Structure 1
Amino acid sequence: MNQCSILVLHPRMALLRHLIPMPEPKKNIKVPTEVKAAIVSTLRSTRGDIRNDIKSAQQLGIQVGDTFLQACNAKGTSDALLAWHVATSILEVRYPHPTTSSSDHKSVATKLSCYCAYLVAYSPELLPDDDAWSSGMYKTTKKDASHVLGTAPTAMSMPEMEYRQLVELLLGATSKHNVLKDGAKLGEQLVELMEGEEEAWKALAGFWSEAVLCVAPSDNLEGHAEAIARGGELITLLWALLAHLGVDRRPEATTTTTTTMDASGIV
């Protein structure tokens, strides 16, 4: 699975030193076992009732209060994914060293977050939104994030202070899109409203596991064929698995649940 990020380490500051260094625009990693397990577990629990990512966010928001939902006013799937990607990165700054009990949840959340950011940036044709709009939004948001982080003052020494500095920087960002501000609000609420690090990472792992499933169904056969020709994509494997189970289109394109599957049918 390829990985990329909107928020990267700036050479003048250590604000994001806890994030995975990304010297190249994107990098490829082996899909971790915990990521595979989380996706399959989510698929079993939904029994084929795959929702769209905004509704997934709503489900998560119920656990921490109604105000959580007001932070993300995405127009489409791509900007919602990027806002949650920014929020996930913020949580990495606040909790740079995961506890033993939260390490798997953090791995699932961060790996799928960076994978979805990669999809928006490099394979938007595999997502529901218009290709050109998604790609342009990513480039604009990435440029705005680099500008904002480049104006940051001297880095703080404590995760709590670095987290607060990052949130304030992003909330004050001037951008054509709301991704950075929405992401900052979501990240802030994850830290402030969840009961500790473990609950926050667990919630994010659940969100990302469902999000990657709900963007996978597609009728873009040509796009997935080209992805296979390039060596394959995780989302293409999920697309094939869901099609095999009878989930062959995204939920917004249907009026009823496509299928109710037997959990024993997932290997």
Structure 2
Amino acid sequence: MECAEASLPETHDFVFRGLLLTEDRFERAFRIVEVELGFCHDYFFTKYHVIRKKQIFMFVMMLVRIILVLLVGAFVLTDSLTIETPAAVIEVHPRRADTVITLLILGTIILVEVLQAAFYLASDWLKVSLACKYVRNLDLQSREFIVKLIRAYSRFTIFRYWTNRIGQCSVISECQSFAIHLRYILDPIKNPFERTYRLTIGKKRASVCLTSAVKIAVARSLKESDGHLTNGEATLKKNHVFGLFCWALEVGSQIEIILVWHIATEYCQLTECNENSTYQTFHEVSEKVCHPEIAITLSRYCVYLIDSVSELLTGYVDSELAIARVMKEVREAIGSLSIDAKCQFFKDLQVREEEDTIFRKGVKLGKQLESLNDSALRWKVMAEFWVEKIIYIAPSDNAKGHMERLNKGGEFLTHIWALLSHAGILKINRDNVRTTNLRSQPLQEDV
């Protein structure tokens, strides 16, 4: 995907000096992106943009169709559709059931027409149309009740593509179902019916509400970066722990880095949940900053993207074997264990200086994070890392993939991708240790 305005400084300033100028505008920026993507959804998957051009004609035709259907219904009720001949070869005696079925079909047609009109009347397209007419008509501008009417109407909606929910997946708690579509790599399934069941009905899906805390954290991190995205490096340096955890940024592809940090996050969450008193005190201290919520939510969302929306992630195909191995190792190690047994397994697991598997690297990172005496700092590092990571993996040239996801409820990653696109960040070079913003010269992207 290319954009002629991507290299202009005005494009960068539109987001960083406009939409994200102050912190009280952060949520508003995501609402603007939501409306924008809503128009994209309607343009690609509905006919609202066609109706808007000929609104009066379309509604007149709708009324004509409804009137014709009502006339047919009236004839059915009065038995006026029955044709009598002097000498009928075959006598047909209409039954009551025939009349009922015909009326049900006619009623369904009317219901569909009314619903289509109602959905359009509650859509953003009609709201924009009314606003344009208000601006162009000086007589309407002088009437205050028209302004109040438009404001009240703009808050009314029936259907939105975006449900404000994000998918969740955990390698630790859902190890039996995670990456089930890759099981054929290590454990081939010969039965086609069993394979179909596991890939569709047998696949678990969970989601949580996307909170304001997560949106604000993402916007704040993007604002602080000023468009210079890094692979978690900025977070570690800002919190003065780069020397301790820099190795975890160089464990392979972006997919493998996500899995390592996800396992570490799940490890910390699991061990702290098991220690009730410590976990409760920690949450009382960190209630305002919501670092655990942000870290766990975004961690599981990134794994959900790997598991269910892999087409939006660059370099996923190259990591399929690594993901399948992680799935198998976790399933064999803790697949059937209870929460307490999992905690005990992690505590007893001895990690070496040089670990060779993603699972063990994740446990090693989790133990290193656990060694930080300050629990607030530990979760602050993880929360800011995941916020930085979700922004880092968002730039992509797969615009088609993002648009196709709109018809399935949309993804939060698409909202971040759209926001970055407005800033001119269309693609980043993830090969370099020190990543650069490619607003002016897009490079070949290879994770």
> TM-score normalised by the shorter chain: which range applies?
0.7 to 0.9
In 1, distance between residues paired with 2:310 and 2:350?
A: 24
Q: What's 1:20 paired with? A: none
The aligned residue for residue 162 of structure 2 is none
- CA gap of 1:75–1:253, structure 2 versus 1, over 3 A, is closer
Q: Tell me, what secondary structure is at the counterpart of 1:218?
A: coil
**Structure 1 position 68, deviation (Å):** 2.5
User: Which of the residues 122, 131, 146 maps onto 2:308?
Assistant: 122
Q: TM-score, length-normalised on structure 1?
A: 0.77
Matched, 1:99 2:264: no
Taking CA–CA contacts closer than 8 Å with sequence separation of 6 or more, which of the two structures ends up with the larger relative contact order?
1
> The residue matched to 1:99 in structure 2 has which SS?
helix
CA distance in 2, matches of 1:121, 1:85: 13
> What is the CA distance between 1:75 and its match in structure 2?
1.4
Q: Is the 8 A contact 1:149 1:169 kept in 2?
A: no
**Letter of the structure 2 residue corresponding to residue 227 of structure 1:** R
What is the CA deviation profile of residues 72-96 of structure 1, one whole-angstrom value per residue up to 9, with x for unaligned ones? 6421000100100000001102222
Which AA in structure 1 matches 2:283? T
- For structure 2, list consecutive stretches of 5 or more residues without a partner in the other structure: 1-165, 176-201, 274-278, 440-447
Q: Which amino acid aligns with 1:166?
A: F
**AA at the equivalent of 1:69:** C
Q: Secondary structure, in 3 states, of the residue corresponding to 2:172?
A: coil
Task: Give the match for residue 76 of structure 1.
Answer: 253
Q: What secondary structure does 1:95 align onto?
A: helix
Distance 1:182 1:142 in 2: 14
**% same residue:** 28
Deviation per residue, 1:196-255 (Å, 9 max, x gap): 211100111110000000000111112112212222001011000100111111243797
Asked if 1:179 is matched to 2:358, the reply is yes
Q: Name the aligned partner's letter for residue 111 of structure 1.
A: T
**In the alignment, which residue of structure 2 is the partner of 1:149?**
334
Partner of 2:99: none
The SS at the match of 1:2 is strand
Kindly provide the CA deviation profile for residues 116-136 of structure 1, in whole angstroms up to 9, marking residues without a partner as x.
Answer: 01111111221121x334444
Please state if 1:109 is matched with 2:289.
no
The equivalent of 1:245 in structure 2 is 423
CA distance 1:206–1:183, shift in 2 (3 Å) = same
TM-score (norm 2): 0.47
Q: Is the 8 A contact 2:394 2:413 kept in 1?
A: yes
Query: Pairwise CA RMSD of aligned residues?
Result: 3.1
Matching residue of 1:263: none
Contact 2:167 2:208 in 1 (8 A): yes
The residue type equivalent to 2:260 in the other structure is A
Deviation at 1:106, TM superposition (A): 0.1
C-alpha distance in 2, partners of 1:256/1:4? 30
Q: 1:178 to 1:110 in 2, by over 3 A?
A: same
- Asked if the contact 2:248/2:365 (under 8 Å) is kept, the reply is yes
Conserved 8 A contact 1:120-1:134? no
Evaluate the alpha carbon distance shift between residue 106 and residue 250 of structure 1 in structure 2; reply closer, same or farther with a 3 A threshold: same
Q: After TM superposition, list the pairs within 5 Å mapping 1:3-42 onto structure 2.
A: 3-8=168-173, 25-42=204-221
Query: Per the alignment, do residues 72 and 86 of structure 1 end up closer, same or farther by CA in structure 2, a change over 3 Å counting?
Result: same
Of 390, 404, 426, which residue of structure 2 is paired with 1:212?
Answer: 390
